[in-house]
Structure 1
Amino acid sequence: MNSTVFAPWEDPEKKPLIRFQNVTKKFGTFTAIDNLSLDIYEREFFALLGPSGCGKTTMMRMLAGFETPTSGRIELAGKNIIPVPPNKRATNMMFQSYALFPHLTVWDNIAFGLRREGMEKDKMNARVEEMLRLTRLERFAKRKPHQISGGQRQRVALARSLAKAPTLLLLDEPLGALDAKLRQDTQFELMDIQEKTGTTFVIVTHDQEEAMTVASRIAVMDEGQLIQVATPDRIYETPVSVYVADFIGDVNIIEGKTTLIEDGQYQIDWAEGQMPLHAASSQPFDKGQTCFVAIRPEKVAISAEKPQAADNIVQGKVLDIAYLGNLSTYHVELADGTIIKSQTANTRRIARRSFTWGDTVWLSWTATAGVMLAR
C-alpha cells in the first residue's frame, strides 16, 4: 500500500465492494438480522465483532450464499448476489474447523479447488507453489494434515481458500482452535497475507483483541444490529455507547447526573459523600440527565499522596491487583463501595511495586480522560 492513509470509507467517490441494504433475516419468529445496512470496501480487513448470537455469523453466511435474507439486498461489486448460488460467487469461506482432506497432502489440499475447476496443469502448479510460498509451507508440501501443527493446518486452509483468487475471503473464527501465543503470531501473518494479496477479508470473531489487532474497521454487533462501525482506535477512544465501551477492552463506567458548567464542560453528581466529577463532551447533555462516564484504566493515575491539581480525585483502598507482566491493574474500592480500576506500566521489577493490598491510595484523572455516554 502507498504511504497515504488507507480509508476508502471517508472518500465519497469510492464505491463499496460489499453493500448490505436494509437486510433482515428471520428464522421463524426470531429476527437474527434486523434491517441492517453496511458498506465494506475493497482491500479492507473488516471484522464483525460481538457476543454469541448477535448475528455476525448469519451475516457472513448470507455473504457466502448459505443463507438467504428475508428482505433487503446484498451487493458485491455493484451486483445483487442474493440469487447467485454459493459456488458461483466470487467469495470463498474459511471455516473454523479448516475442513482439510486428511488423505490428501498439503499440496493436493491447496490444489483441490483448482483441479475441480479444470485449471490447466502448468497454471495450477504455479498457483499452488505461489500459495505455498505466501503461507510459508513449501517444506510441508508433501505432508498430510495430521503430520503438521495446528497453526500450519490453519495456513493450509488459508492457502486453499486464496488459491482461487476470490474477490472476498470470509473467515469464520479462523483462529479459534489455536493457543494464545500462536493466535497472536497468526494474526500478524493473516494481516501480512491480506496486504500482499489485496484480497478483501471479512472476519467473524468474538475476540475483541483479535478484531483490534487485524481489522481496518470493526462492526460491533448486538442482537442483529450494528451498534458502531469504526476504526479500532475510534471504537476504543470514542465508543458510542456503554455496550461498546464495555465490550472492547477494560473500562470503568461511572453513572451520574449531569450539570453544564460551561461550553462542553460538565459536573457529574454520582455517589453519596463523593465530590462531583468533571468531564467534557462535544455531545450536549440536559441538566439532571443520567449519563455514563467511560474511563479506561490506563488513564487513571494512582498515587500514595493526594495529587495537588487534578480535575477528578478520589480516595480508596487497594482491593485487588492483577499482574500481567508488563502491566498491573489495581482494583481500588472507594468508601461507597464503587470499584475503580487503574492500570500502570511495570517498568521496574515486581518486588519494587509501590502499592499493595489494603493500601490507601488516591486515584486521579483529567476531565477529558473519559467519554460521556447517554446510554
Structure 2
Amino acid sequence: MAKPSTDTWDKEFSPWNDPDEKPLIRFKNVTKKFGDFVAIDDLTLDIYTREFFALLGPSGCGKTTMMRMLAGFESVTEGTIELAGQNIADVPPNQRAVNMMFQSYALFPHLSIYDNIAFGLKRDKLPKDKIDARVAEMLKLVRLEKFARRKPHQISGGQRQRVALARSLAKGPKLLLLDEPLGALDKKLRQDTQFELMDIQETTGTTFVIVTHDQEEAMTVASRVAVMDEGRIIQVATPGGIYEGPNSVYVADFIGDVNIITGTAKAAGESKYYVDWGVNQAPILATSERPFSDGQECHLAIRPEKISITKEKPEEAENAVQGKVLDIAYLGNLSTYHVELPGGQIIKAQTANTRRLSRRNITWEDPVWIRWNATAGVLLAE
C-alpha cells in the first residue's frame, strides 16, 4: 500500500480524513446503463463541502455521465446519489442547488454581461436592488466591473469564461459542475485561468466538481483527483498522492511521465524486494509496504525525474544500469534522455537545465549510466 501523501492539501484541508465529516455528495453503488452499455459501473464516491474535486480520465470513461447525473440531466439506473443528505433522484434539475458551466459557456449573445449574469436571478423574480447588488458582487469577483455593459462578442475568450463562471455562481449554488471549462482557451490563458478558478472557489467556498481529460489541469486545481476508466474509479487521492503513490500501472501511466519495468519479485529484507527483470541484468532493488510473494509478477513505476544520468559509472548506487542515448527531448527547463538498455527497453531520465546550455555534456549515441534509489519507484502488482 502506498504511503499517505504529504502534499499541501493533506495538511491544510482534508475533510475526507475526518470520520465525523459528512460528505456533500454521496454516490452509493451507482450504475448507469444506456441500453446494454454500462457507462457507470457500481460506483461509490464521497465529495465534501468546499472541495475542488476533479474527475479525470480518457474520453468515454464515464466522467461526463457522472456530472450529468449530478445535474439531473441523466437518471440513475441503479443506486442513489445524495446531495447534503437528500436523495436527489426525483429532484428536477431546476430545483437542485446545483449549477453547471459548459465548455461552450452558452452566453446569450444579445444580452450584456450584466444581463447574462442577472438572467437566473431575474427568472427567480428577485427585487431589482438585490439583483443589482448580487451582479455587482459577481462582477467584482471575476474582475469584470468595467465590462458590465458590453456584449459577449466584445470581450476576449478568457473574459467570456469568467462571465459564464459569474453567472453560474450568481444564485449561490451548493455545488458547481464544470465540464471541460477551459478547453476553448489557449495554453497560456488556460494556465492563468486555472489559478483564477482556484482563487474564486476559495473565496466563495462553493464546492466545485470539474470534468477534464487534462491531467495537468486536474493536478493544478484539485484538492482530490478521481482517475476513471470504463465507468469505474480506479483511484481517488490528492494530486501528490496520485502522482507519488499510484495504485496501478494504469494510474501511474495516465498521470505524468513514467517508466514501467516488469519483472518478478523476491524478498530482500523488511519491505524490500529484488526485481528480476532482464536477461543478464542485475536485479533491481525496490521498497514496498505492500507484500509480494517470491516469484510474483510485479511492475516498478519510476518517474523520469527520479533517475539520474552520467557518463561515468556511479561508485555507489542501489540501482545502476548501462545503456546508450537514443534520443533527447530539450524542453527548455528540462531535458529528457531516452536511454536504450541492452535488452532493448527504453528508460527515460530527466535533468533540470539549471544553467544556460552552451554545450551538451551528454549527446546522442553516448554510452551512459542511469541510476536511482530503491525508494525512487513504486512497486505495483497490476
Decide: shared fold, TM above 0.5.
Answer: yes
| Residue equivalent to 1:21 | 28
1:162-211 Cα distance to aligned partner (Å, 9 max, x none): 00100000000000001100000000000000000000000000000000
| Residue equivalent to 1:253 | 260
The two structures, once aligned, show a CA RMSD in angstroms of: 1.1
Structure 1: give runs of 5+ residues left out of the alignment: none
1:310 matched to 2:317: yes
Q: Quote how far apart the aligned CAs of 1:133 are.
A: 0.5
| Residue equivalent to 2:274 | 267
1:46 matched to 2:53: yes
| Residue equivalent to 1:89 | 96
Note the 1:164-183 alignment, pairs <5 A: 164-183=171-190
* TM-score scaled by length of structure 1: 0.98
| Residue equivalent to 1:149 | 156
Counterparts of 1:300 and 1:269, CA distance in 2: 19
What is the identity percentage for the equivalent residue pairs of Structure 1 and Structure 2?
74
Counterparts of 1:92 and 1:362, CA distance in 2: 54
| Residue equivalent to 2:335 | 328
1:274-303 Cα distance to aligned partner (Å, 9 max, x none): 111110101001111110000000000111
1:238 matched to 2:245: yes
Q: Which amino acid aligns with 1:223?
A: E
Q: Quote how far apart the aligned CAs of 1:4 are.
A: 6.3
| Residue equivalent to 1:366 | 373
1:215 matched to 2:214: no
Counterparts of 1:335 and 1:9, CA distance in 2: 46
CA pair 9-3 structure 1, distance change in 2 beyond 3 A: closer
Counterparts of 1:349 and 1:14, CA distance in 2: 50
| Residue equivalent to 1:280 | 287
1:289 matched to 2:305: no
1:76 matched to 2:97: no
Counterparts of 2:99 and 2:42, CA distance in 1: 25
Aligned equivalent of 1:121, options 121, 128, 133: 128
CA pair 303-4 structure 1, distance change in 2 beyond 3 A: closer
1:226 matched to 2:233: yes
Q: Quote how far apart the aligned CAs of 1:260 are.
A: 0.5
1:203 matched to 2:191: no
Q: Which amino acid aligns with 1:27?
A: F
Q: Quote how far apart the aligned CAs of 1:69 are.
A: 0.7
Task: Indicate the SS of the match to 1:351.
Answer: coil
Q: Which amino acid aligns with 1:85?
A: P
Task: Indicate the SS of the match to 2:26.
Answer: strand
Q: Given that residues 10 and 238 in structure 2 are in contact (C-alpha distance below 8 angstroms), is that contact kept between their aligned partners in structure 1?
A: no
Q: Quote how far apart the aligned CAs of 1:304 are.
A: 1.0
1:58 matched to 2:65: yes
Counterparts of 1:164 and 1:354, CA distance in 2: 59
CA pair 124-247 structure 1, distance change in 2 beyond 3 A: same
Counterparts of 1:71 and 1:346, CA distance in 2: 53
Counterparts of 2:137 and 2:310, CA distance in 1: 56
Q: Given that residues 142 and 162 in structure 2 are in contact (C-alpha distance below 8 angstroms), is that contact kept between their aligned partners in structure 1?
A: yes
Counterparts of 1:225 and 1:172, CA distance in 2: 19
Q: Quote how far apart the aligned CAs of 1:350 are.
A: 2.2
Q: Which amino acid aligns with 2:202?
A: E
Q: Which amino acid aligns with 2:246?
A: P
Aligned equivalent of 1:35, options 15, 39, 42: 42
Task: Indicate the SS of the match to 2:176.
Answer: strand
Q: Quote how far apart the aligned CAs of 1:262 are.
A: 1.1
Counterparts of 1:94 and 1:326, CA distance in 2: 35
